[in-house]
Structure 1
Amino acid sequence: MDPDQRVETLSEAECRRLLGTVPLGRVVYTEHALPAVLPVAFRVAPDGRLVLALRSDSTTARALDGTVAAFQADLLDPEHRAGWSVLVHGRTELVRDRAELAELLRDGPRPWVGGQTPVYAVLTPELIGGRRLDAAPAGVGPEPS
């Protein structure tokens, strides 16, 4: 990374590694022909797919079944104006395989809202990219209130 530049483009391997360090991200999909964004709990499966935990009564599950979606996860430090962000694009499908579903229900991510039995969607990454923003130089920070 150029010392004068604070933004670093991340490799796909680093993006995949960083995704495994946070439990929450945002899925971007189409609902009623409009873009929609929803925060979701997730995990990275051993095969590299993203497993998204959804409420069983959500319209999001239906909207994600067999479609292309985007997923973003990040970790940001507003005080130091630093952090990273990863964006994944790929096809999503609901988990219907009984064995896979049983395993996810046993130890998969849980939706942040609702105590119902979750529905799971998997996003198979096709495009992965990300950026890291290094801390701002001393004296550069948020404007005083």
Structure 2
Amino acid sequence: MTTHNDSVTEMSEAQAWELLSGTVFGRLAVSVDNQPEIFPLNVHVDDRTILLRTAEGTKLSSLAVNERVCFETDAFTSRVGWSVIAKGSAHILTGTDEIAEADQAPLRPWIPTLKTIYVRITVDEISGRRFTIGPEPDRVIS
């Protein structure tokens, strides 16, 4: 664990996985044709992978063209916060067995839309930071 100063601390990989494993919401960042897109979504973290559901649209089209993604989740109070970033490859589930397994996960759409397509992100890089929230320090003018 590395401390940048008193207010920012880098997490160990194990700490980042622990927080990621407890999350149900985050943001998925993708890039297609050199244009970034970001999507808020609910997820289920299982066996060091991130499972999500989606429907036809920009998100799915983006994943079909470029499987490299970044997922970010965070939380904060008035005093502390944290952020975890997981980078990896997204794969649209197509096999009967893998879809049946995904159907058993506690992952349901939060809004009343039909989302029948599962995507699993295999994470190959994870990092996290903890923050102590407070006022900006005084500037030193020389």
Counterpart in the other structure of 1:87:
85
Rounded to whole Å, the distance in 2 between the matches of 1:24 and 1:38 is 11
Runs of 4+ in 1 over 2 A off after TM superposition: 105-108, 110-115
- If the length of structure 2 is used for normalisation, what is the TM-score? 0.82
RMSD over equivalenced CA pairs, Å: 2.1
Tell me if the contact between 2:109 and 2:115 (Cα under 8 Å) persists in the aligned partners.
no
Matches within 5 A, 1:53-72: 53-54=53-54, 56-65=55-64, 67-72=67-72
Matched, 1:23 2:24: yes
Q: For residues 66-121 of structure 1, what are the alpha-carbon distances to aligned partners after superposition, in whole Å with 9 as ceiling and x for unaligned?
A: 510101011112x22x2100011111110112112122223341233343143111
The size of the alignment, in residue pairs, is 133
Q: Is the 8 A contact 1:8 1:132 kept in 2?
A: yes
> C-alpha distance in 1, partners of 2:115/2:104?
11
Are positions 1:75 and 2:75 aligned together?
A: yes
Match of 1:106 in 2: 104
In 1, Cα distance between equivalents of 2:39 and 2:81: 21
Distance 2:129 2:19 in 1: 11
Q: Which runs of 5+ in 1 are unaligned?
A: none
